[in-house]
């Protein structure tokens, strides 16, 4: 014989159903749900591109540090830095500025 369903049992079942619906909606449309999957993938691709560009920039900086080693300074690079930072040129040189403006 079946026991009668009380008001408390109905309320418990309603609460459990509401909780399951909330979890289901969050799984579908939450910040890490199925609908935001494409956005997360594109964001990951953007971050990977940023990491790649920063690693390339870091490699250039590491190369510059190696060229400026106090025990063995590269003369070409040091000359380039002096000319660039101090605007130093020989008297017989012509300087042509190639800054292009749109």
Q: Is 70 exceeded by the pLDDT of residue 40?
A: yes
For 26-35, write each residue's pLDDT tens digit: 888 888 888 8
Q: Tell whether 24 is covered by a domain.
A: yes
For 41-80, write each residue's pLDDT tens digit: 999 999 999 999 999 999 999 999 999 998 989 988 888 8
Domain count, the chain: 1
Q: Tell whether 95 is covered by a domain.
A: no
Q: Tell whether 26 is covered by a domain.
A: yes
Q: Tell whether 36 is covered by a domain.
A: yes
Q: Tell whether 80 is covered by a domain.
A: yes
What distance in Å separates the CA atoms of residue 44 and residue 42, rounded to the nearest whole number? Answer: 5
CA distances from 79 to 68, 82, 94 (A): 11, 5, 16
Q: Are 35 and 29 in contact (CB under 8 A)?
A: yes
Report the predicted TM-score, pTM, of the whole model to 2 decimal places. Answer: 0.56
Q: Tell whether 91 is covered by a domain.
A: no
What domain range includes position 39? 7-86
């Amino acid at each position: 014989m079946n026991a009668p369903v009380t008001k408390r049992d109905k309320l418990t079942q309603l609460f459990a159903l509401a909780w399951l619906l909330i979890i289901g909606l969050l799984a579908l449309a939450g910040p890490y749900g199925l609908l935001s999957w494409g956005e997360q993938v594109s964001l990951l691709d953007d971050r990977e591109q940023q990491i790649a560009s920063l690693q390339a920039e870091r490699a250039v900086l590491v190369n510059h540090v190696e060229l400026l080693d106090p025990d063995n300074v590269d003369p070409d690079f040091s000359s380039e830095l002096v000319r660039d930072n101090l605007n130093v040129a020989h008297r017989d040189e012509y300087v042509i500025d190639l800054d292009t403006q749109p």
